[in-house]
Amino acid sequence: MAKILAGVGTSHVPAIGAALDLGKSEEPYWKPIFDGYEKSKQWLAETNPDVVILVYNDHGTAFGLDVVPTFSLGVTDLYPPADEGWGPRPVPDVHGHLELSRHLAESLIFDEFDLTIINEMAVDHGLTVPLSLMCGQPEAWPFKVIPLAVNVVQYPPPTGNRCFNLGRAIKKAVENFDDDLNVVVMGTGGMSHQLHGERAGMINREWDNRFLDDLSGDVKRLVQLDHVEYMRETGAEGIEMVMWLIMRGTLNDNVKEVYRFYHVPGSNTAIGNIILENV
């Protein structure tokens, strides 16, 4: 049977992807960020999952404001990098796992999570930057990826509690898949950041670190946080962190934090990375 080995939380700041693509990763501004991900890269290479379920948000690339699905699941075998205005990133195509995607779609919808099915989609920085941070610059991504896109762009986004419960349903679905696949789930986006208006550039280190603490220590507190708290304490774009709660929901009640990295500045965002293993 398939099993979920671990969860990863990571930021997805697009400028990090550009820094890597343009050969700037050794520059003083970017080097501490790439250095901070070295342990995670090693861990992922050693863990060597067959499939990563990557929870992310599209930023007006695959979906405009004309269609805004709350939760949508990639159910195909190829997701090319999207053109976000400067041409597609020079990164490998993302290969899906069609059979596990089909199984997830069926299991989740029968479990009453009415996901939108995506049969064709290009993936933006929300998905490719986490892959770059966690894998570097390989010729091909070393595992299959199933994209799960969450609306955190257009009000109203889903609640943290709903996200956590979707994670629970994903856990059940994966554990009922017949093939012996090793799966890692990534929750991406965040941490505190606001890109526009009077509070642009705001960061909340204390709040972010308590969020990281409570991913292993007090998940019950995290799932009850409401949208206003994310907005007030972590900036307008901090709501991306509800996606980490989907990842957390796919893990056991008890998890062990095996790595944490937190760094400011990374463009306008507090960069966070955590690895949680099932115990």
End-to-end CA distance of the chain: 18
Measured distance CA(101)–CA(80) in Å, rounded: 17
What are φ and ψ of residue 40, in 5° steps?
A: -65, -40
The number of beta carbons lying within 10 Å of the beta carbon of residue 154 is 12
* Among the listed residues 132, 140, 77, the one whose alpha carbon sits nearest the alpha carbon of residue 273: 132
State in angstroms the smallest separation of the CB of 10 from ligand DHB: 11
Q: Is 125 an active-site residue?
A: yes
97 touches ligand DHB by CB under 6 A? no
Catalytic choice (103, 125, 196, 227) = 125
Among the listed residues 59, 89, 97, 144, the single contact to ligand DHB using CB under 6 A: 59
Q: Whose Cβ is closer to ligand DHB: residue 113's or residue 207's? A: 207
State in angstroms the smallest separation of the CB of 57 from ligand DHB: 8
267 touches ligand DHB by CB under 6 A? yes
Q: Whose Cβ is closer to ligand DHB: residue 201's or residue 217's? A: 201
Are the beta carbons of 270 and 208 closer than 8 angstroms?
Answer: yes
State in angstroms the smallest separation of the CB of 273 from ligand DHB: 14
Among the listed residues 9, 12, 40, 277, the single contact to ligand DHB using CB under 6 A: 12
Q: Which stretch binds ligand DHB (CB under 6 A): 91-99, 154-162, 202-210, 264-272?
A: 264-272
- Sketch the per residue contact string, 14 through 53, with ligand DHB: x for CB under 6 A, - otherwise: xx--------------------------------------
- For the chain, the residue count is 279
242 touches ligand DHB by CB under 6 A? no
State in angstroms the smallest separation of the CB of 195 from ligand DHB: 6
State in angstroms the smallest separation of the CB of 230 from ligand DHB: 13
258: left (phi over 0), alpha (psi -120 to 50) or beta: alpha
89 touches ligand DHB by CB under 6 A? no
269 touches ligand DHB by CB under 6 A? yes
User: Under rule CB under 6 A, which residues in 218-237 are in contact with ligand DHB?
Assistant: 237
User: Helix 242-249 and helix 205-217: axis angle, to 10°?
Assistant: 10
Catalytic choice (12, 59, 103, 193) = 193
* Size of interface with ligand DHB, in residues (CB under 6 A): 12
Binding site for ligand DHB (CB under 6 A): 12-15, 59, 189, 193, 195, 237, 267-269
Which residues carry out catalysis?
Answer: 125, 193
